[in-house]
């Protein structure tokens, strides 16, 4: 009842202040059914997304509340963004909850790590919904075609993982059923625990590029594993898994340039201080601290009015030890083909992730039709292949879905 009242007040207040404050957004129905078993619904969701914006002189603000309403009458109400902009002659300052997007990659997070991920539906949500807003102060300083950007996050926001009962909860391979201890997962808000990032970007006639660095927390927790051994039989009788976030120092950059009809993109970063799980029995908590690099090379091309894109992504662990449970090189590719028809009212699209290590994939065909101004119908599918790996673990989660969306 309380959430229903909040929804009513939100819509009512939007109508009252719409004349003074810019109001936009969308209403959407999202229905997905699994293609295995009894064809159960994977999701039944109604979305209400609002943008309230206003500007005056050198100050503006934006508030982006959203509501997810599910078929069991569960409501999720939150703010994706709520920030204020202050404009100066050569500098902008943004203060508040905001999404911050860096890098040149499509569908991959390499230097784009300031805004953590909402993986409640794995990687299936639109990317403006996967990226979570973070409370931050962002300063942009402009000199001609050069931009210096500084970001300070006073509090840490981790990746949002699916519930343990969700079909999107990742498979965890343990020899016995573990006990989870979440007492060390929280990072308390303090100046000492804040995060800071810096970026320099330039736009030239030959190339666009960015150089960045950061001192941050790993958004994804490391699973520290303690074994319980029977003193008589010396057999493993139990496991205690303690998720913990660790500090990361990173530096990297990205670029894009045009070569004839081709667009060439690249992005990469060096991470220091990452913890990986290891099978080495001498290690405490079954983790080892290693450095790694994560990079991407991509090309875009248009052929017969079809927009084509391909990316090769690799994560490489430096000074690799064979006891580390993750592969030394993790290789992934993405492909995108997209074409518009009938004056851009109909769009056919195919996007795929391909895991080269485990021969698994996520294939995402979809059709988008603009029935009228602001009214869109989307029909798509999520097809998982393989029996292990990031995508193969969801092989039973193939689904067909529709999204009916009205934007205003």
Q: Whole-angstrom Cα distance, residue 346 to residue 214? A: 41
Mean pLDDT taken over the chain: 92
Side-chain half-sphere of 154: how many Cα atoms within 13 Å? 9
Beta-bridged to residue 269, according to DSSP, are: 252, 294
pLDDT band of 20, cuts 50, 70, 90: confident
Across the range 360-366, mean pLDDT stands at: 98
Segment 57-75 mean pLDDT: 94
Per residue in 286-298, pLDDT (tens digit) is 999 999 999 999 9
pLDDT digits (tens, 9 = 90+) for 243-261: 999 999 999 999 999 999 9
Pairing of strands 179-180, 134-143: unpaired
Q: Which residue has the higher pLDDT, 322 or 164?
A: 322
Interval 317-335 mean pLDDT: 96
| Region of residue 105 (phi > 0: left; psi between -120 and 50: alpha; otherwise: beta) | beta
- Give the pLDDT confidence score for residue 5 in this predicted structure: 47
φ, ψ of residue 231 in degrees (nearest 5): -65, -20
pLDDT beyond 50 at 384: yes
Region 63-76: mean pLDDT is 93
* Residue 17 predicted with pLDDT over 80: no
Q: Which of 67, 100, 65 lies closest to 81, judged by CA?
A: 65
Q: How far apart (Å, rounded) are the C-alpha atoms in residues 262 and 316?
A: 27
Q: Which of 10-14, 130-134, 140-144, 238-242 has the lowest mean pLDDT?
A: 10-14
Beta partners for 123?
A: 121
What is the arithmetic mean of pLDDT over 9-15?
A: 52
d(CA 87, CA 145): 17
- The rounded distance, in Å, linking the Cα atoms of 30 and 399 is 12
Has residue 6 got a pLDDT over 60? Answer: no
Is the full-model pTM beyond 0.85?
Answer: yes
Q: In what order do the strands lie in the sheet with 236-244?
A: 179-180, 236-244, 222-229
Longest dimension (CA), the chain: 77
pLDDT-above-70 percentage for the chain:
95
- Of 102 and 178, the structure prediction assigns the larger pLDDT to 102
> Tell me: the pLDDT tens digits for 31-56?
999 998 888 999 999 999 999 999 99
């Amino acid at each position: 009842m309380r959430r229903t009242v909040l929804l009513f007040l939100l819509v009512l207040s939007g109508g009252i202040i719409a004349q003074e404050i810019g109001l936009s957004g969308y209403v959407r129905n999202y229905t997905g059914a699994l293609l295995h078993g009894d064809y159960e619904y994977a999701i039944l969701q109604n979305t209400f997304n609002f943008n309230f914006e206003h500007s005056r002189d050198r100050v503006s603000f934006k508030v982006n509340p959203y509501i997810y309403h599910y078929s069991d009458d569960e409501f999720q109400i939150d703010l994706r963004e709520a920030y204020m902009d202050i404009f100066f002659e050569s500098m902008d300052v943004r203060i508040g909850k905001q999404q911050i997007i860096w890098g040149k990659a499509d569908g991959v997070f390499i230097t784009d790590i300031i805004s953590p991920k909402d993986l409640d539906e794995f990687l299936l949500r639109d990317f403006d919904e996967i990226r979570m807003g973070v409370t931050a102060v962002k300063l942009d300083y402009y000199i001609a075609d050069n931009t210096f950007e500084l970001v300070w996050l006073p509090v840490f926001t981790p990746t949002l993982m699916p519930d343990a009962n969700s079909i999107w909860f990742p498979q965890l391979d343990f020899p016995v059923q573990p006990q989870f201890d979440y007492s060390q997962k929280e990072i308390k808000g303090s100046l000492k625990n804040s995060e800071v990032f810096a970026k320099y970007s330039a736009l030239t006639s030959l190339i666009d590029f960015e150089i960045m660095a950061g001192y941050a927390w790993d958004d994804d927790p490391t699973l520290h594993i303690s074994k319980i051994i029977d003193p008589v039989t010396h057999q493993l009788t139990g496991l205690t898994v303690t998720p913990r976030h660790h500090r990361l120092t990173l530096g990297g950059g990205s670029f894009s340039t045009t070569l004839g009809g081709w667009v060439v993109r690249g992005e990469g970063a060096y991470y220091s201080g990452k913890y990986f799980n290891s099978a080495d029995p001498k290690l405490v908590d079954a983790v080892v601290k290693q450095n790694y690099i994560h990079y991407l090379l991509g090309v875009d091309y248009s052929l017969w009015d079809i927009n084509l894109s391909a990316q090769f992504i690799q994560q490489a662990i430096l000074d690799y030890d064979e006891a580390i449970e993750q592969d030394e090189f993790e290789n992934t590719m993405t492909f995108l083909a997209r074409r518009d028809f009938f004056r851009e009212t109909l769009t056919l699209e195919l996007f795929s992730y391909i895991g080269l290590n485990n021969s698994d994939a996520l294939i995402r065909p979809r059709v988008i039709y603009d029935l009228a101004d602001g009214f869109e119908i989307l029909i798509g599918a999520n097809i998982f292949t393989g029996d292990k790996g990031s995508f193969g673990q969801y092989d039973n989660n193939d689904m067909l879905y529709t999204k009916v969306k009205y934007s205003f």
